């Protein structure tokens, strides 16, 4: 049970004219192996919630437990906690400071007082994990890298502490479509090979739908619900009330279903959509010509529009092409 | 701290807030001069009464005003103790003597007056900064120093530098917060070890902060350029400052107080009753 919060509330600058209730009784459980997406409007308390997970923001009222550690006491083993929960902030590239990529990535492990040869190994491991060429970048200054590369170095800096839980605050903000895709790809890789539990804050529903198995919806400091994507994106009432956009895939599925194609409306992943369209087409063809299986076989091989739909789904991800 | 622009401006609507910032600035300077004319306790009482009235008029919670004193409390106590202990005027008014510690009545009185003076010196400008935004203040300063531009002093440039700096302070504070959090998340420690270690521990915060400040400065320069900023020449103002009747009343009111202070100090017109009000001539 890595993360449990119970009735967690937080007020910024309490007892002052600027007091601001940022969290309001949030009760949430994140299980091992979860890929939790956190969505909600700006100012809904997503970052404040995430800050609690490695005690950068201290518990004011309520309870937080992370990997068996109660975060309420004033004195904590911060090093243990912060190496367990890796936190990647928004625009993490702005935290780079050291003279070389290697030293910057090694900052976390050095603070953990890990022996130098192990640090070197971790640095190599995490730079390779984020898809950078270790020998090629290790001696370069982090400031001379491109934006996308900087962000990966910053990510490697967190991974070098070998966290079990990775928290990412809008990891793809401000990147071009390709940079976004690359970062998401490497997040999936990290989840698979390194830290099994990932929490990702994002405003991009396509990213969320394609990767997460659970989605937490925040609004005005409260947790509205935690639902699997297939369920959330079919709940028209929730989407409407909280101004949540549908992922492109779900929009396409809905558009096709509206026009009479027999596919479920709850599709959230590109592959599922393609499979559903194929199945629906096959079903339609079979229904029309039940006696000639070899023709159906042939038809399946050149189903019209599948590629176009797939393309559109991809495009929709980045440019929000609406199919209504 | 996020919603405050800087310093301690207290947002509300009051006569004092609405006064012309130029008038407030000039009066604040005159007020400081006035403090140095006060010599007797009754004069100080008058000073505090004046501040009290200002605070009430400004609708700033009195506790907020007293907060400015909290910061210099140490200074006040320190000067008080030193003045009392090291008074070597001699005299026959020894109150307490033990070995080398001698406390004279004159020393106590002098030290108290000094403490009162420091308090008044801090309280007055606090009322100014509590009721006037830094931007208003820089604007006022620019307008007041305008004549100096005639002798080629870059008044406008100085003012714009100041307002940009003021504008960027909260942004930088926020940025610093973020960077500190990010480095803490990588287990950086800022409050352990000796002074050298601590100074070194700040590097991971300072370097990104500098980098982002340069970036910001660059972006701002670009944004100003693209909106055709050309310096002071031919520039008009969005908020034109105009003197109003209340400004006249403010000036008159202040003059009355200043006059009263001078009256008490110099005993003009031979007001016989004033020495009676200050028993023993303090
Ligand atoms: N350091 C801070 N001081 C005061 N208020 C803050 C601070 N950080 C965030 N807030 C306020 O708390 C609320 C929640 O902020 P945040 O958790 O950053 O939201 P989100 O990440 O969902 O955009 C916002 O209204 C924000 O203005
Ligand atoms: Mg945020």
* Per-residue confidence (pLDDT) for residue A32, from 0 to 100: 93
Q: Which residues contact B143 (CB under 8 A, 6 or more apart)?
A: B22, B241
- Does residue B18 sit at the A interface (CB-CB below 8 Å)? no
pLDDT class of B281 with cuts at 50, 70, 90:
low
Q: What is the pLDDT of residues A128-148, one digit of tens each?
A: 999 999 999 999 999 999 888
DSSP B98: E
> Bridge-partner residues for A169, per DSSP?
A201
Give the position, in ligand 1's atom list, of the atom nearest the Cα of A45.
17
Q: B268 pLDDT exceeds 80?
A: no
Give, for ligand 1, the residue of A8, A17, A20 to mutate: max count of ligand atoms closer than 8 Å to Cβ.
A20
Phi-psi region of A4 (alpha: psi -120 to 50; beta: other; left: phi over 0): beta
Cα-flanking dihedrals φ and ψ of residue B151, to 5°?
-100, 35
Cα B217 to averaged position of ligand 1 atoms, centre (Å) = 25
Q: What is the pLDDT of residues B171-221, one digit of tens each?
A: 888 899 999 999 999 999 887 778 888 888 899 999 999 999 999 999 999
Q: In this complex, do B211 and A94 lie within 8 Å of one another by their Cβ atoms?
A: yes
Q: What is the 3-state secondary structure (H, E, C) of chain A?
A: CCEEEEEEEEEECCCCCCCEEEEEEEEEEECCCCEEEEECCCCCCHHHHHHHCCCCCCCCEEEEEECCEECCCCCCCHHHHHHHEEEECCCHHHHCCCCCHHHHHCHHHHHCCCCHHHHHHHHHHHHHHCCCCHHHHCCCCHHHCCHHHHHHHHHHHHHCCCCCEEEEECCCCCCCHHHHHHHHHHHHHHHHHCCCEEEEECCCHHHHHHHCCEEEEEECCEEEEEECHHHHCCCHHHHHHCCCCCCHHHHHHHHHHHCCCCCCCCCCCHHHHHHHHHHHHHHHHHHHCCCCHHHHHHHHHCCCCHHHHHHHHHHHHHHCCCCC
Cα A46 to averaged position of ligand 2 atoms, centre (Å) = 6
- Does residue B187 sit at the A interface (CB-CB below 8 Å)? yes
Q: A127 pLDDT exceeds 80?
A: yes
Give the position, in ligand 1's atom list, of the atom nearest the Cα of B177.
1
Average confidence (pLDDT) over B104-117: 88
Average confidence (pLDDT) over A52-69: 94
For chain B, domain boundaries: 1-132+244-282, 154-240
More confidently predicted of B277 and A64 = A64
Ligand index nearest the alpha carbon of residue A22: 1
Q: Is there an atom of ligand 1 within 6 Å of A52 CB?
A: no
DSSP B133: -
* Minimal CA separation from A18 to chain B, in Å: 7
Cα-flanking dihedrals φ and ψ of residue B39, to 5°?
-125, -30
Q: What is the ipTM of this complex?
A: 0.82
* Minimal CA separation from B43 to chain A, in Å: 35
Q: In this complex, do A79 and B187 lie within 8 Å of one another by their Cβ atoms?
A: yes
Cα A56 to averaged position of ligand 2 atoms, centre (Å) = 14
Helix runs in B233-272, H state only? 245-266
Q: A302 pLDDT exceeds 90?
A: no
pLDDT class of B280 with cuts at 50, 70, 90:
low
Q: Is there an atom of ligand 1 within 6 Å of A24 CB?
A: no
pTM for the structure as a whole:
0.75
Residue nearest to atom 11 of ligand 1 (CA): A22
* Per-residue confidence (pLDDT) for residue B270, from 0 to 100: 59
Q: In this complex, do B1 and A18 lie within 8 Å of one another by their Cβ atoms?
A: yes
Ordered DSSP codes for B170-235: HHHHHHHHHHHHHHHHTT--SS-S-HHHHHHHTHHHHHHHHHHHHHHHHHHHHHHHHTT---STT-
Cα B165 to averaged position of ligand 2 atoms, centre (Å) = 26
Task: Determine which of B185, B202, B204, B205 to mutate to test the interface with A (most A C-beta atoms within 10 Å).
Answer: B185
Cα A63 to averaged position of ligand 2 atoms, centre (Å) = 21
Q: Is there an atom of ligand 1 within 6 Å of A151 CB?
A: no
Contacts of B189 in chain A (CB under 8 A): 111
Specify the range with the lowest mean pLDDT, choosing from A117-121, A194-198, B69-73, B172-176: B69-73
Starting at the edge strand found earlier in the chain, the sheet holding A20-30 runs A20-30, A3-12, A61-66, A69-70
Residue nearest to atom 6 of ligand 1 (CA): A12
Angle B254-B260-B263 from CA coordinates, rounded to 5°: 145
Q: A176 pLDDT exceeds 60?
A: yes
Q: Is there an atom of ligand 1 within 6 Å of A42 CB?
A: yes
Residue nearest to atom 18 of ligand 1 (CA): A47
């Amino acid at each position: 049970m890595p993360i449990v919060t119970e009735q967690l509330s937080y007020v910024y600058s309490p007892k002052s004219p600027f007091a601001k209730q940022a969290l309001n009784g949030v009760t949430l459980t994140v299980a091992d192996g979860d890929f939790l997406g956190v969505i909600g409007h700006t100012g809904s308390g997503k970052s404040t919630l995430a800050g609690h997970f490695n005690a950068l923001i201290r518990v004011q009222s309520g309870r937080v437990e992370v990997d068996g550690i109660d975060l309420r006491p004033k004195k904590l083993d911060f090093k243990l906690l912060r190496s367990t929960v890796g936190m990647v902030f928004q625009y993490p590239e702005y935290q780079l400071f050291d003279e070389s990529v290697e030293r910057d990535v090694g900052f976390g492990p050095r603070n953990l007082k890990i022996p130098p040869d192990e640090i070197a190994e971790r640095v190599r491991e995490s730079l390779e994990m984020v898809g950078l060429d270790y020998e090629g970048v290790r001696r370069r200054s982090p400031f001379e890298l491109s934006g996308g590369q900087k962000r990966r170095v910053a990510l490697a800096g967190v991974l070098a502490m070998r966290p079990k839980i990775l928290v990412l605050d809008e990891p793809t903000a401000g990147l071009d479509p390709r940079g976004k895709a690359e970062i998401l790809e490497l997040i999936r890789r990290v989840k698979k090979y390194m830290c099994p539990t990932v929490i990702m804050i994002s405003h991009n529903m396509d990213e969320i739908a394609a990767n997460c198995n659970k989605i937490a919806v925040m609004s005005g400091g409260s947790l509205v619900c935690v639902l699997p994507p297939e369920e959330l994106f079919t709940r028209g009432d929730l989407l409407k009330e909280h101004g949540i956009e549908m992922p492109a895939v779900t929009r396409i599925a809905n558009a096709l279903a509206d026009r009479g194609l027999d596919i479920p409306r709850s599709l959230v992943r590109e592959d599922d959509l393609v499979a559903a369209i194929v199945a629906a087409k096959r079903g339609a063809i079979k229904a029309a010509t039940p006696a000639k299986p070899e023709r159906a076989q042939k038809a399946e091989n050149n189903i019209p529009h599948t590629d176009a739909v797939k393309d559109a789904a991809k495009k929709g991800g980045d440019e929000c092409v609406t199919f209504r | 701290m996020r919603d405050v622009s800087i310093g301690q401006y207290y947002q509300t609507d009051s006569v004092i807030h609405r006064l012309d910032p130029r008038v407030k600035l000039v009066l604040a300077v005159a007020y400081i001069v006035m403090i140095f004319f006060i010599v007797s306790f009754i004069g100080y009482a008058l000073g505090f009464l004046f501040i009290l009235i200002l605070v009430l008029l400004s609708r700033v919670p009195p506790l907020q005003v007293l907060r400015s004193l909290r910061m210099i409390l140490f200074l006040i106590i320190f000067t008080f103790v030193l003045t009392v202990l090291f008074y070597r005027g001699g005299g026959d008014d020894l109150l307490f003597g033990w070995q080398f510690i001698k406390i004279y009545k004159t020393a106590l009185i002098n030290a108290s007056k000094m403490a009162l003076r420091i308090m008044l010196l801090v309280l007055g400008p606090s009322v100014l900064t509590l009721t006037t935004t830094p931007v208003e203040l820089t604007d006022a300063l620019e307008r007041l120093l305008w004549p100096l531009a005639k002798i080629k002093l870059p008044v406008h440039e100085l003012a714009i530098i100041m307002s940009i700096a003021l504008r960027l302070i909260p942004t930088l504070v926020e940025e610093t917060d973020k960077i500190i959090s990010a480095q803490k998340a990588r287990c950086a420690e800022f409050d352990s070890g000796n002074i050298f270690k601590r100074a070194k521990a700040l590097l991971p915060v300072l370097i990104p902060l500098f980098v982002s400040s340069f970036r910001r400065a660059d972006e701002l320069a670009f944004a100003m350029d693209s909106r055709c900023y050309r310096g002071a020449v031919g520039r008009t103002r969005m908020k034109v400052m105009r003197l109003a009747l209340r400004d006249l009343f403010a000036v008159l009111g202040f003059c009355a107080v200043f006059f009263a202070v001078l009256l008490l100090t110099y005993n003009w017109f031979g007001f016989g009753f004033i020495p009676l009000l200050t028993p023993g001539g303090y």
